[in-house]
Structure 1
Amino acid sequence: THEDLQKRIMKIREDVRYADSQDRQFMLSDLAFLLEDEARLGTRIQGMGAGQSSPYFSKLVSDEAIYISKYLSDPDNNVVKYTSPIAVLRYKEVGQVGKVNGIAHRIREKQVLDIQKSTLKRLEYTDIDTAFAYDGNKVVFPQKQSRDLPVSKASLDTLVTEIAETSEAKKYVLGEIITKMREEQDSVMRAPYQGVTLVKGAAGSGKTNIAFHRIVYLTSEYPEEFRQQAIAVFCYNVALKKYLSNMLVELNIPQVQVFSIDEWIYTILRQVTNIGWPNYDEDPWTKITKTRKEILPILNAFYNENKSQLI
């Protein structure tokens, strides 16, 4: 249990103070593994807590029902996290076929839901010949139903848009964006983890959304290769750092580190120089040299010659 794990961690931290150098090395190694286990278990517990009030946001029926969740993964009850491969089927419409791992799935029924604090706030339902929307108060049909006439998807889209515009505005948070991710954003999130994934776009185009959900994807689908504690996010100011840190907690990846560029550079400088030493005193000749413009061409030449080693 989580409590037992915490007790073991506390005991090692206490015992390591009195251990000799050889035993201390083994104990610190054990402590590192236990801390990783604690982080994984803590993430799972937090996800289960969030999932109790909002268990899933999409339901698909193919050969069997599939429930897509922001937080949970429960294969025994066909609940999958949105990072799971089969979750891409939520972008298919009723009647369409999607392939996952070589297996074809025809969508027979589709539901998009908004469940908050265990209460259904919104529902969009579509099957082969029926469609309706629920706004938390009433059920509305986009047109008169007929079992002989398929419902127009466009008419349902119009109805859902009208309901959304008249409902209470939601705060703009990454957790809510999971349900609104476009298929192309989802594809970038699932890009192969080998190599570099570069995402470019204008301000407000969703780059941060994709980057953060990709972290969730990598830590969820490849937990052995990508540990939260080994991932870092860099930004340009402290205010943005605070905002991004809050978003990481909301997405249940709280162990990911966030650095502002200046903070990170200062940390590195303290590690490789004596700048943090209390008695640090710069050589006066070095200080004079650094402030003379004649030294700039020399520094530029040195940088260009050693660029590959410095960067």
Structure 2
Amino acid sequence: MPRVALIVNPFASAVDEHRIKFVEEALARAADVATHLTERRGHATELARLVSDDVDAIFVYSGDGGFNEVVNGLGPDAPPLGCIPGGGTSVFPRGLGISRDPVTATEQLVEAFDQRRTRRISIGRVNGRRFLFNAGLLFDAELVRRIEAQRSHAGRPGDVAFAATLLKFIAEQRGRFDPVLEIDGVGRAAFVLVANADPYTFLGSIAVHVAPEATHEAGLYAIAPTRVRPRHIPQMCRYVVTGRRRPRSVLAVQDVDRLEVRCDRPLPLQVDGEDLGDVESAVFEAERKALSVLV
């Protein structure tokens, strides 16, 4: 009988004992299941390295942070990955067409495992850290940091808190963001958002389209406003909601394998919603067809 590993973040917002048991029972219909609960930051990476050579698939029941940790522990010959949404947003599985509901998603992924239905996708990497769908310098990284600071025992704040944090951040800057970094071969910009999938993220049920052309099979896509003033904000909002009519003040890079950025001062960096601290430079790279996922 096939063997699978189930890596669970028990602290994720949509994870509880009842749902873990359901996931285990659903997987047990198709394979022998070994469940591993994460205990600390980085633990999922360690677990992925430990189990990847001994199983036919790895299932992860977590939020995007857990998915990111697992993919950072997988080698080139790793078994297929099945991501069950257990976070408040769960951008990665939703972007692959997996149901947002953990129960429905589990049934969908068990069927994919039974039928060996996989998809080979590209992933990103910045300064050695892999990412599954997005990475950013300054703007979204600052938001991630502020949201993380509001985390409680119940998990990260929800969409209302995120919107309030966003508005407060823009208000503090008076809607003005000046150039503070240089993208090699592209130019100076106020911040940079890098995607290897669309949507970039979700705000509730609303998809945010930073790079609507991006696909999981291609390289990296990026947008970088040269500068932002209050009059630009409505244009930017329309663009990220509709994915159409990118403002002229926004630089764009499409389907590249490498992007180098130098900062005027240390700036916050995030990947898949995880704060990586401040950096003075960032090298974004694409790993094409690096990961097999169940869909």
Question: Which of the two has greater strand per residue?
Answer: 2
Question: What TM-score does the superposition give when structure 2 sets the normalisation length?
Answer: 0.24
Could you say which structure has the larger radius of gyration? Answer: 1
Where relative contact order (Cα < 8 A, 6+ residues apart) is larger, the structure is 2
Question: What TM-score does the superposition give when structure 1 sets the normalisation length?
Answer: 0.23
Question: Which of the two has greater helix per residue?
Answer: 1
